[in-house]
Chain A
Amino acid sequence: MVYNKIVDRASPLNLFRQMLLIRRFEERSAEMYALGKIGGFCHLYIGEEAVAVGAMDALRPDDYVFSSYRDHGHCLARGSDPKAVMAELFGRSTGLCKGKGGSMHLIDVERRFMGGYAIVGGHLPLAAGAAFAINYRNGDQVVLCFFGEGAVPTGACHETLNLAAMWALPVLFLCENNRYGMGTPVERSVALYADVSKNAAAYGIEAGFVDGMDVLAVRDAVGKAVDQIRTSKRPYFLEASTYRFLGHSMADPSHGHYRTKSEVDEAKKRDPLLLLKTKLLDERGAAEADFKTLEQEVKKIVDEAVDFAETSPVPAVETLAEDVYSGEQGGSLGTDGPSRRPMGGPGAMDAQGGRVPGEEGGSRPAQGGRVQ
């Protein structure tokens, strides 16, 4: 396959390790939430690990990724430091976003993980915009955009699909169909629920379907889709069927009133970790001892992440007003007289500009003209 030439693929055991890391990280997040160490809304990714891990493994480091509010798994699979992720969940200054983003807004620009967004469907146009910028610069990167089936009926999704199709934007729309938008099943939210990808077909976007519990199948499907996007410059819509084993958020019990325990138990028989482990044991000559070693490794990483978060300082209150505005304003605020620091505005701008992961290493134009 073409993509094997571009990117080094992880071994199946390594894929298992990544999924295990997410699983154990999320289990520990649940504990920390119960202890009150993590606040707010906290949406865990347990059950869906194969989608993030398989998909990320098919990307290049210079591709871009956008995600929704259930973003811990995506962020970890993209290679973000578990310490910085856990610290962000704890609201510490050492977090990925200095404690200002939180569980639903993990952002790691160095890895081109452009963020978790928490208005359902609202990040799809952003992903299309990144793809627009790639085309504008004649780049060959691809944008991977994760969203749930709950985002499919939004206007944002349909406006984006239309634009992406018309303008041939290199986006992989990866719909993680975990069957429920909070407690509302797909049958009651998407008219074409039996084949969600038909929504993309309506715009002439090529679409596919993959078993989102099978990490190797996901990697294969995403790899092919990404290759196709890179060469054809056309978007692709991939539906990955998956299932969340826990509640919508920490506020929701694992099955609640909207689904039965037996349904959840049935789904767990196709646990993505179990499926891959069985395959590795049965077909690839792995031994139980290999998994024990992985468990130990992963436990250490998660322990360290929690320790790091615990011992990190909370953000200084003095940083509260930093990062509201960029300090590098091209000199657009007045430079002399009493108006230099207008009251009621960005009086506390930080001196640090945003790191813009553009091809030119920054977005600041050279100054021209005179400032009066």
Chain B
Amino acid sequence: MTLTYREALNQALREEMRRDEKVFLIGEDVAYYQGAFKVSKGFLEEFGPRRVVDTPITELGFTGLAIGAAMIGLRPVVEMMTFNFAILAMDQIVNNAAKIRYMSGGQISVPIVIRGPGSAAHQLGAQHSQSLEAWFCHVPGLMVVAPSSPRDAKGLLKTAIRESNPVIFIEAQLLYPTKGEVDEGEYLLPLGVADIKRAGTDVTLIAYSKMLSVALQAAEVLAKDGIQAEVVDPRTLRPLDLNTLAASVKKTGKAVIIEDGWPFAGLGAQIAESLYTTIFDYLDGPIVRVTARDVPMPYARNLEDAVIPDVKRVVAVVRTVLYKK
């Protein structure tokens, strides 16, 4: 069946809440407003205010509260209206959610999902347009997921909710209305497993979340020139499925990593390092990253367009990597 990314998330959450009484949704405007992006449409009606909990604007408070509830066995799904606001909850996420299991010597698990949109949409300005996945990926104890399609979004969210570790589940505002095929019936997709979205032989493009469509479009453009790009979506950013990424790059000998986060100490730098240290001998040239420009996001549309990687930039970089003019 064809679903939007938004509907796929809605289905995943709904199925898990029906299946497990311990799962509840908490966040700003998730109940009566039905979510800032309507991911929880119809939830209040079906599950009631006990399990669909509107909060005041207190990311630290309600994220910490949800972590506390997870510590004694509930399975909270926290909606961040956007991940920019998760910065207010970083102490709770980094110092509590990620560490309690370790500090307790394994006595306490924190089965929580913290989800919501990351990355830029259109002209939302510097404070609402950030891709912060590298921050979360840096922290042992967290798992980080960033699905690119409705099918992945549904299968991965369901799995994340059943996970016994804290999962940061990063969606994208611009992906919510996008459509895709989703399996009939119930299905789960494993965390920590990448997916080859397009097979190819000449170069590996690694991209996730909304940058995946940029990579796929770039691959189409390149195909017209006879360049066959393989496009791999890690889907889970931590733990990273390095085996699948490495197998692809081993085959093509070249890799381009596309992300809409900042370049300095970005996630692509980590992926490149992981590839260099495992399959250096198979590389035919340097791994190149296409990232956001190293500036806070400007408001003006033309400037914003210049910040975020687009098909043109990706194609140009791939051609350079392949020594083609």
Contact = CB atoms under 8 A, between A and B. Distances in A.
Given A326-B165, A372-B190, A354 B72 contact: no
Interface stretch (A224-232, A278-286, A345-353): A345-353
B104 A109 contact: yes
Interface string B203-230: 0000000000000000000000000000
Interface in A318-361: 322-326, 328-335, 338-339, 341-347, 350, 352-360
Given A333-B192, A342-B192, A354 B101 contact: yes
Interface stretch (A5-13, A75-83, A122-130, A235-243): A122-130
Contacts of A370: 186-188
Contacts of A117: 95-96
Contacts of A163: 55-56, 58, 61-62, 65
A343 B60 contact: no
B324 interface: no
B286 interface: no
Contacts of B236: 342
Contacts of A346: 165, 239
Interface string B96-122: 100011111111110100000000000
B80 to A, nearest CB: 15
Contacts of B103: 97, 100-101, 105, 107, 115
A132 B188 contact: no
Given A125-B92, A362-B73, A369-B188, A332 B163 contact: yes
Interface residues of B, number: 71
A208 interface: no
B41 interface: no
Contacts of B187: 369-370, 372
Given A125-B64, A344-B240, A364-B164, A114 B278 contact: no
Interface string A84-112: 00000000000111111100010111000
Given A115-B103, A330-B162, A124 B64 contact: yes
B305 interface: no
A355 B143 CA distance: 20
Given A332-B190, A339-B194, A346-B239, A156 B60 contact: yes
A368 interface: yes
A126 B159 contact: no
B322 interface: no
Given A160-B64, A344-B240, A325 B192 contact: no
Contact of A126 (B19, B68, B192): B68
Nearest to A344: B240
Contacts of A350: 106
Interface string B38-63: 00000000000010000110101111
Interface string B161-173: 0111100000000
B141 interface: yes
B68 A339 contact: no
Nearest to A315: B105
Interface in B66-81: 66-75
Interface residues of A, number: 79
B107 A126 contact: no
Interface stretch (B174-182, B242-250, B256-264, B291-299): B242-250
B285 interface: no
A98 B106 contact: yes
A25 B19 CA distance: 49
B20 interface: yes
B186 A126 contact: no
A155 interface: yes
A112 B194 CA distance: 39
B202 interface: no
Contacts of A368: 19, 186
A184 interface: no
Contacts of A133: 68-69, 72-74
Contacts of B61: 125, 128, 156, 159-160, 162-163
Interface hub of A328, A338, A342 (most chain B Cβ within 10 A): A342
B106 A352 contact: yes
B188 A344 contact: no
A125 B65 contact: yes
A129 B159 contact: no
B155 interface: yes
Given A101-B103, A122-B95, A125-B64, A343 B240 contact: yes
Contacts of B50: 136
B63 A356 contact: no
Greatest chain A CB density within 10 A among B69, B71, B244 is at B71
A324 B101 contact: yes
B102 A130 contact: no
Interface string B139-169: 0110100000000000100111011110000
Contacts of A329: 163-165, 191
A365 B159 CA distance: 11
A317 interface: no
Contacts of B111: 326, 363
Contacts of B312: none
B236 to A, nearest CB: 8
Closest 3 CB pairs of A and B: A345-B239, A129-B68, A125-B64
Interface of A: 64, 95-101, 105, 107-109, 114-115, 117, 119, 122-134, 136, 155-156, 159-160, 162-163, 166, 322-326, 328-335, 338-339, 341-347, 350, 352-360, 362-365, 367-372
